[in-house]
């Protein structure tokens, strides 16, 4: 596996791939890698000739400076995981390489209502920062395919919209959520949970699963009320939201229809740690 630190070096390597007519897959990450990230690497290896993974803790998508400071940095472990799982290139850019003109937003991305609901409502400005850094990384890497995890479903939709509006020639592949044995979605934030918090962290998944199983029998507004009450019954959990959305348009769904694919999304706080999850209903 090659480790690259500068955009100029990356351009040279990608140019070599292009001259050989090889396809390039790209997995952008914040680091603190786990099996969920490796599933994206495996998907890229399956569908592309070469796989590039970036590790960059992007300052523009953290609305809380303390959250940025506390984000786990495990570069040595990340390198070992990527090497063991067949990644071809690890890209480790500096802030100045990604943002040569400074970290202030260079443009305002047209993201529509997606930017302001659910995750966007809790973290103002977050999705503008995500759109900016991924746009910049796509310009540097110029991949054929971009591999993203379903756990961040709203973010995937945000990036699809950004790519469409910016007319970027890259295909987005959304990959399934990877879970622990008890159902908890893999996340870098999980390692910050206390032992007691980790024991109940899978309650979000279990609640979403119950909603999915009962969506044909119980009105959606009642399911939402039950889900919030069920989660908040645990003294360690504070529910941020439970929401039923059209899987394609992300419009909120209040009544069940037979011809739409839905996604149930949820977010909870366990102390200062915020966890998200979702399930798709066909």
CB 259 within 8 A of CB 281: no
CB 150 within 8 A of CB 177: yes
Q: Which residue has the tokens 């622990």?
A: 180
Q: β-strand 89-91 against 2-4: which pairing, if any?
A: parallel
> Which residues are designated catalytic?
37
Kindly write down the DSSP assignment for every residue of 180-218, as one continuous string: -TTSPBP-GGGGGS-HHHHHHTTHHHHHHHHHHHHTTTS
CB 103 within 8 A of CB 154: no
CB 133 within 8 A of CB 97: no
């Amino acid at each position: 596996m090659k480790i690259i630190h500068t955009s100029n070096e990356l351009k040279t390597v990608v140019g070599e791939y292009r001259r050989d007519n090889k396809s390039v897959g790209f997995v952008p990450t914040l680091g603190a890698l786990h099996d969920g990230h490796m599933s994206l690497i495996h998907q890229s290896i399956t569908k592309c000739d070469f796989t590039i993974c970036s590790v960059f803790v992007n300052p523009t998508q953290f609305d809380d400076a303390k959250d940025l400071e506390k984000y786990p940095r495990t570069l040595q472990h990340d390198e070992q995981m990527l090497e063991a799982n067949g990644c071809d290139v690890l890209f480790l850019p500096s802030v100045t390489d990604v943002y040569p003109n400074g970290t202030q937003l260079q443009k305002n991305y047209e993201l529509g209502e997606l930017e302001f609901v659910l995750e966007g409502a809790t973290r103002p400005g977050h999705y503008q920062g995500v759109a900016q850094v991924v746009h910049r990384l796509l310009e540097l890497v110029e991949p054929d395919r971009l591999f993203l995890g379903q756990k961040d479903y709203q973010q995937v939709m945000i990036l699809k919209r950004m790519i469409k509006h910016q007319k970027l020639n890259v295909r987005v592949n959304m990959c399934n959520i990877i879970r622990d044995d008890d159902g908890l979605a893999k996340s870098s934030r999980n390692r910050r949970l206390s032992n007691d918090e980790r024991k109940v962290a899978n309650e979000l998944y279990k609640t979403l699963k119950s909603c999915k199983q009962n969506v044909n029998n119980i009105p959606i507004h009642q399911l939402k009320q039950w889900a919030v009450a069920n989660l908040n019954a645990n003294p360690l959990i504070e529910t941020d939201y439970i929401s039923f959305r059209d899987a394609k348009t992300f419009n909120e769904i209040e009544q069940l229809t037979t011809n739409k694919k839905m996604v149930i999304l949820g977010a909870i706080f366990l102390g200062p740690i915020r966890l998200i999850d979702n399930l798709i209903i066909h």
